[in-house]
Amino acid sequence: MGVPRVDAVVAGAGVAGLAAALELQDAGCEVAVVDPSDRPGGVMRTDHVSGYVIERGPNTVQVGPTMLGFLRRRGLEEVVLRARPASRLRYIFRGGALVQVPMSPVALARTPLLRARGKLRLLLEPFVRRGPPEGESVAEFVGRRLGRDVVSGLVGPFLTGVYAGDEDQLGARAVFKKLVELEQRYGSIAGGALLGAFGARGPRGLRGSYSTEQGLGVFARSLADRLAEPPGLGSRVARIARDGARWRVEVSAPSGERSLDAARLVLATPAFAAAELLRGVDADAASALEEIVYAPIVGIAVGVDPADAATPIEGFGFLTARDEGLALLGCLFMSRLFPSRAPQGRELLQCMLAGMRHPDLIDEPDDALAKRVAADLERTLGLRGEVAPLAITRWPRAVPQPGRDHVGRIGWVRERLRDLPGLVLAGSYVDGVGVSDALASGVVAAQELVARDA
C-alpha cells in the first residue's frame, strides 16, 4: 500500500493550526491536522473545577481585524462573548496600592503612576529625535521617547500582562510595531497619531475583550468541529523531509508510526518544535527559530468570597509593578468579566506568576506557590482567610519573547523557507503573541500557500 496523499498537513492544533487548516479547507484542500495533545486548542484549554470555569492558558481575546474576518466568514461571530463593560477598569499595583490605569489624557495628567516630572517629560515627545528602526528594546524606545517613568509605571506592568516579559529584553519593533512606525514616518508618536487619525483607516477588529460563555476551550472546539477530518490528536509530527515538490511527513502515535505525503505543510507549533522539525531541512533556519526564548508561566486559579477582600473585586483585574517585589505578576477578576465562571456568591481570580521576572517559580512545589499567592493577594486585595488554589497550571515555555532582532529574524527565516515548495510557518512567535495574532498567522500562512498555487 502506498503512502496516503493529502493536499496539506498542519502540524499543531492550537489556534494558529486550526485557523490555517480551516482556511485551506475552504480553499478546497483535504487537510490532515496532527497534534500530540488530548484536545484541540493548544494552550487554549478550559476545565471545570468545583463549579468554576478555569482557563489553563489564555483568558480573554482582543479580536483583531483578521480574526474578525475569519469569524464572520464562518458565522462564528456569535460564539464569542464580550466581557462585561466594567472590564474597562484596570489596575496596577504600585506604591502599595491598586491604582486605576489612566485611559484618557485627563486621567494621565492625574495618575499617581507617573511623577510630576514624568508627566512633564511626556510633553517633550514631539521634539525627541528619531531613533534607529530596529535593535532597540522596549525600555530603550519608550524611555527615549516618553521617559523612564512611563517604562516603570505603565509599560513594564503592561508587558508583564501580555508577554510575562521583561521590557529590557523585548524588542520595540516587534512589540510596539505601530508606535515605531509612527516614529519612523512622522518623527513623533503623538504627532503621527494625530495625523494618522485624519488619514485612511484600515480594517478594524472588535472593541473590548472576548471569550465564550464557557471559556476558550469551547472556542477551540468550535473551530475543530468545522474541520471535515477531525484533528489527529495524540500523535505528533516526528520528522519531515522533502520529496521532490512534496513533503513526506512522519507521524508518530502510541499505536505506531505512519507517513503522509503532502503537497503543503504548515508548521503551526511553537518555535522550538518547528526548529526541531526543520533541523534536517534547513539547519540555519532551525537554529534561528531555536534561539527564540519563551517565558514560563504558572497560572493559579483561586475561588474567593468577595467579603473576605478589603478591596472591592471589580473590573478586569490588576498587574503588578516590578519594584513592588511581589511573586504575583497579575490577577484577573474572571467572574467579574464573565459571571458564569464562578458559583453564586463567589469570585474566580486567575493569578499569574513566574514569567521572565521570576522564571524559577516554575519549579516550586504547589504548596509553596499557594503560600506565595495567598501572601500577595493579602497585600494587593487585603484578602483574608484561607486561599486554597482550585488549580495550578505550569507552562515551562508559555509565551515567546520577541527580542530586539525578532522582526529581522522572522523575516530572514521566512525568506529562506520561501525557496522550499509548500512550507509555511504559523504561530504566536511569528507576528504577535495574542490569540488573535496567532489565529491571524494561521490565516496568513494558509493564504500564502493558496496564493503560491495560483
Ligand X SMILES: Cc1cc2nc3c(=O)[nH]c(=O)nc-3n(C[C@H](O)[C@H](O)[C@H](O)COP(=O)(O)OP(=O)(O)OC[C@H]3O[C@@H](n4cnc5c(N)ncnc54)[C@H](O)[C@@H]3O)c2cc1C
Binding residues (CB under 6 A) for ligand X: these are: 11-17, 34-37, 42-44, 57-61, 236-237, 268-270, 273, 297, 299, 395, 398-399, 427-428, 433-435, 438
Q: How far is the CB of 248 from ligand X (least distance, A)?
A: 15
Q: How far is the CB of 435 from ligand X (least distance, A)?
A: 4
Judged by CB, which is closer to ligand X: 44, or 356?
44
Distances (CA, A) of 134 to 39, 131, 173: 39, 9, 6
Q: How far is the CB of 190 from ligand X (least distance, A)?
A: 27
CA angle 167, 173, 175 (to 5 degrees): 50
Q: How far is the CB of 272 from ligand X (least distance, A)?
A: 9
Which of 388-418 are b and which e, b meaning 16 or more Cβ less than 10 Å from the residue's Cβ? ebbbbbbbebbbbbbbbbbbebbeebeeebe
Cα end-to-end span (Å), the chain: 32
Judged by CB, which is closer to ligand X: 128, or 253?
253
Judged by CB, which is closer to ligand X: 42, or 403?
42
Q: Taking a C-beta distance cutoff of 8 angstroms, is the pair 315, 87 a contact? A: yes
Sheet-wide strand order for 328-333: 97-100, 90-94, 317-320, 328-333, 347-354, 294-304, 389-400
Judged by CB, which is closer to ligand X: 38, or 360?
38
Q: How far is the CB of 131 from ligand X (least distance, A)?
A: 28
How far apart CA 198 and CA 109 sit, in angstroms, is 25
Judged by CB, which is closer to ligand X: 153, or 427?
427
Q: How far is the CB of 38 from ligand X (least distance, A)?
A: 10
Q: How far is the CB of 232 from ligand X (least distance, A)?
A: 9
Judged by CB, which is closer to ligand X: 189, or 337?
337
How far apart CA 36 and CA 212 sit, in angstroms, is 25
Q: How far is the CB of 34 from ligand X (least distance, A)?
A: 5
How far apart CA 15 and CA 58 sit, in angstroms, is 11
Q: How far is the CB of 438 from ligand X (least distance, A)?
A: 4
Contacts of residue 325, Cβ cutoff 8 Å, sequence gap at least 6:
none
Dihedral of the CA atoms 37, 43, 48, 52 (nearest 10)? 170
The CB-side HSE value for 317 (13 A sphere, CA atoms) comes to 27
Q: Which residue has the cell 495628567?
A: 109
How far apart CA 49 and CA 343 sit, in angstroms, is 11
Judged by CB, which is closer to ligand X: 206, or 237?
237
Q: How far is the CB of 198 from ligand X (least distance, A)?
A: 30
Q: Where are the alpha helices (DSSP H) in 188-253?
A: 189-198, 216-224
Residue type, 216: L
Helix axes 189-198, 177-186, angle to 10 degrees: 90
Judged by CB, which is closer to ligand X: 93, or 316?
316
Closest CA to 281 of 293, 296, 265: 265
Judged by CB, which is closer to ligand X: 10, or 114?
10
Judged by CB, which is closer to ligand X: 18, or 150?
18
